[in-house]
Amino acid sequence: MVSLTADMSPLHPDRNLALELVRATEAAAIRATPWVGRGQKEVADGAAVDAMRAFLTTVNFDGTIVIGEGEKDDAPMLFNGERVGNGQGPQCDIAVDPIDGTTLTAAGRNNAISVLAVSDRGTMLDASSVFYMDKLVTGPAGVGVVDIRLPIGENIRRLAKALGKPVSEMVVSVLHRPRHDQLIEDIREAGAGTRLLSDGDVAGGINSARHDSRTDMCVGIGGSPEGIVTACAIKALGGHIQGILAPRNDEERQRGLDAGLKLDTVYEADDLVKGDNTIFVATGVTDGQLVAGVQRRGEYIFTESVVLRGKSGTLRRISSEHLVSKWL
């Protein structure tokens, strides 16, 4: 693993790389936009994949995709193990999700984003052999307070006390899936409200960790790749994240064991992504709490992105104007 003794060392991700990566998520978001609300999520995702990959080839780094699009969506590009970048600069692990929220994009709903996450080579957990992970995400107030092994009601009460607010004002984000029917009922019985997500639990997790968010916690079973991506962002926000892998069947469980994954074990933040030298980049495809979606007004395309760096603990917003003529 690369040493992190010097922030500007050419051997690991730095602040300049973070700004370069924004170009890739902007491109993916812009190319997906014509398909927003068209009901063709595969086409939208394919356009985003092509655009992201094209821009990543120009970036000054030697990246290996640990969490790729190909594994999840049978895409021929941006697959696990693929090398990206120009081969120069820092050696990095890469997680990509050209559209987190393809269903949201196809339906024209809020909170679809294009995402990249980067860390030092060898620091990201490769959980690709087990697709789902049970996750618990909060902001800094939850560190040392909540625990995924506790009942959800207890975690809500603990976090409410740490936040100094009544349980009745607590809001918990959950993916709206049949598997979460009991979890949703338990949250409401505890006295808290729910924000049901139709898709896109990366944005849901990050929003729950932000200091000015309208949600306090994100829980439930979602994609394990999304858990790794979210962990890269949580490092910059000082929040709390835990995950337990959730195999769908015995065959997947065995694949996880063969890959050396720890099943029935709580993965803490540093197990998901070692160290704090992480970069998370997201550009809005559709409007959401985290970022605004792509807009075209006249001869310009407007994008909004966030860049989170774990090492400096910063969140930066980047608003960009693009000439339409350059994207025809």
The pair of structure tokens assigned to 297 is: 């007004």
Supply the pLDDT for residue 156.
98
76 is in an annotated binding site: no
Question: How many domains does the chain divide into?
Answer: 2
46 is in an annotated binding site: no
223 is in an annotated binding site: yes
177 is in an annotated binding site: yes
Supply the pLDDT for residue 212.
85
| Residues 86, 271, 276, 226, CA torsion sign | positive
Which of 231, 254, 272 is the last residue in one of the domains?
A: 272
CA distance 265 to 128: 16
85 is in an annotated binding site: no
Task: Assess whether 175 and 257 both reside in one domain.
Answer: yes
Structural domain span for residue 68: 16-122+278-326
Q: Residue 84: inside a domain, yes or no?
A: yes
Q: Residue 168: inside a domain, yes or no?
A: yes
Supply the pLDDT for residue 9.
47
Task: Assess whether 146 and 266 both reside in one domain.
Answer: yes
102 is in an annotated binding site: yes
Task: Assess whether 264 and 160 both reside in one domain.
Answer: yes
15 is in an annotated binding site: no
Supply the pLDDT for residue 152.
98
300 is in an annotated binding site: no
50 is in an annotated binding site: no
pTM: 0.91
CATH number of the domain that residue 227 is part of: 3.40.190.90
45 is in an annotated binding site: yes
151 is in an annotated binding site: no
Residues of the chain with pLDDT under 50: 1-10, 71, 73
Q: Residue 11: inside a domain, yes or no?
A: no
Supply the pLDDT for residue 80.
86
What's at 90, amino acid-wise? P
132 is in an annotated binding site: yes
**pLDDT tens sequence across 139-157:** 999 999 999 999 999 999 9
Q: Residue 197: inside a domain, yes or no?
A: yes
Task: Assess whether 175 and 255 both reside in one domain.
Answer: yes
Tell me how many degrees the CA angle 257-259-265 measures, rounded to the nearest 5. Answer: 50
Beta-carbon contacts of residue 270 (< 8 Å; ≥ 6 apart): none
179 is in an annotated binding site: yes
